[in-house]
Amino acid sequence: MERDSDAMFLGAVLRRARIAAGISSQDELAERLGYERTVIAKAESGQRPPSPDVARAYAREFLQLNTLIETGLIEEWADHVRKNGGSFPKFFVDWVDAEKQAVTLFYWAPILVPGILQVEPYARAILATEPDETESPDVLLAGRLERQQVLSRQQPPAVTVVMAEAVLHSGVGGPAVMYEQLTRLVDVSQQPKVMIQVIPAEIGAHAGLAGPVSIADHEGRPTVVHLDSFTAGQTTGAPEIVAKVRQMSDMLRSEALPRGASQELIMKVAKERWTT
């Protein structure tokens, strides 16, 4: 896979700063900065552009980069590189940023389990069907699984997922994968800040037939929504669109089963349809 030249250039700058400081080991730097070694290795090789947080950590650690902190240049540079190559499609990067910083999240899922709740084999099966000329499935998978860290942060957001019952019957990856995925949904829905609700099939027509949507609410910042589509999704904070999506989400929740009944339906489908 050909790597992005901007990412490789930035990676070389970071690598030279580390070596010039006498740190020959990426493991040592990873421990000092508080990141996994793979984060350092991929940032320095250009395989995965560093996030602005990682770039800022480098700038704080190495004197020759310190002058870039006050101007914010190191973060802007990393953000530019990340948006023009990496684990996510360009149209999706703004949503990933909004998702990371949200205090509440809402997902409407009419077809597939949202990425933030997908188990690895389920995600891998989906990504294998999506042609992508710039990144390998492994890189895209790593990005998708990385998004899920928002659920385990020190102060996780309140997450609501409303899904159509059809999601439970979709057969992604085969019976074993579906059973693992559905039991994962039940497990995560036990968390006090995660609400998963299912709209039963008998409801028929409802407000969510137009397609998947997501909402990220932030403290002190405008709400952002992501509208999915067949080609490229759209992330926007336009007030009129946010208002329409909010209204739709309220209508969907009113059609959905409550938490306990949803858990029962998910496990019923897992056992009756996907137990091998």
Same domain, 158 and 266: yes
- Last residue in a domain, options 83, 112, 133: 83
Same domain, 109 and 182: yes
**Inside any domain, residue 158:** yes
pLDDT value, residue 1: 39
Q: CA 58 to CA 73: how far, in whole Å?
A: 13
The full DSSP string for 107-122 is EEESSS--GGG--HHH
Phi, psi for residue 49 in degrees, rounded to 5? -55, 140
Same domain, 135 and 239: yes
If phi > 0 it is left, if psi is from -120 to 50 it is alpha, else beta; for residue 32 that is: alpha
pLDDT value, residue 66: 61
Q: CA 251 to CA 260: how far, in whole Å?
A: 19
Q: Using DSSP bridges, classify how beta strands 221-227 and 213-218 pair: parallel, antiparallel or unpaired.
A: antiparallel
Q: Tens place of pLDDT for every residue, the chain, 276 residues? A: 344 556 777 788 788 888 888 898 999 999 999 888 888 888 888 777 777 778 778 888 887 676 555 555 556 656 655 555 555 666 567 778 888 889 999 999 999 999 899 999 999 898 887 655 455 667 677 777 888 888 888 889 999 999 999 999 999 999 999 999 999 999 999 999 999 999 999 987 887 887 889 999 999 889 999 988 655 678 889 999 999 999 999 999 999 999 999 999 999 999 999 997
- Helical segments of the chain, H only: 5-20, 26-33, 37-45, 52-61, 63-71, 73-83, 93-101, 120-127, 137-147, 175-188, 239-255, 259-274
Same domain, 118 and 240: yes
Reported pTM: 0.68
Three-state DSSP class for residue 268? helix
Q: What is the domain range of residue 223?
A: 93-274
Query: How many structural domains comprise the chain?
Result: 2
Same domain, 177 and 74: no
The closest alpha carbon to 199, from 244, 251, 157, 240, belongs to: 251
pLDDT value, residue 160: 97
Phi, psi for residue 112 in degrees, rounded to 5? -130, 155
Same domain, 169 and 247: yes
Looking up residue 38, the CATH number of its domain turns out to be: 1.10.260
**Inside any domain, residue 113:** yes
Same domain, 135 and 178: yes
**Inside any domain, residue 114:** yes
**Inside any domain, residue 88:** no
The closest alpha carbon to 198, from 68, 110, 96, belongs to: 110
Element (H, E) at 222: strand 221-227
Q: CA 214 to CA 217: how far, in whole Å?
A: 10
**Inside any domain, residue 34:** yes
Same domain, 18 and 106: no
pLDDT value, residue 266: 97
Same domain, 235 and 106: yes
Same domain, 56 and 99: no
pLDDT value, residue 76: 60
Same domain, 9 and 105: no
The closest alpha carbon to 164, from 203, 121, 127, belongs to: 203
Looking up residue 164, the CATH number of its domain turns out to be: 3.30.870
Q: Which amino acid is at 81?
A: V
The closest alpha carbon to 115, from 151, 85, 75, 78, belongs to: 151
pLDDT value, residue 133: 47
**Inside any domain, residue 154:** yes
- Last residue in a domain, options 52, 83, 114: 83
- Last residue in a domain, options 83, 102, 134: 83
Same domain, 60 and 108: no
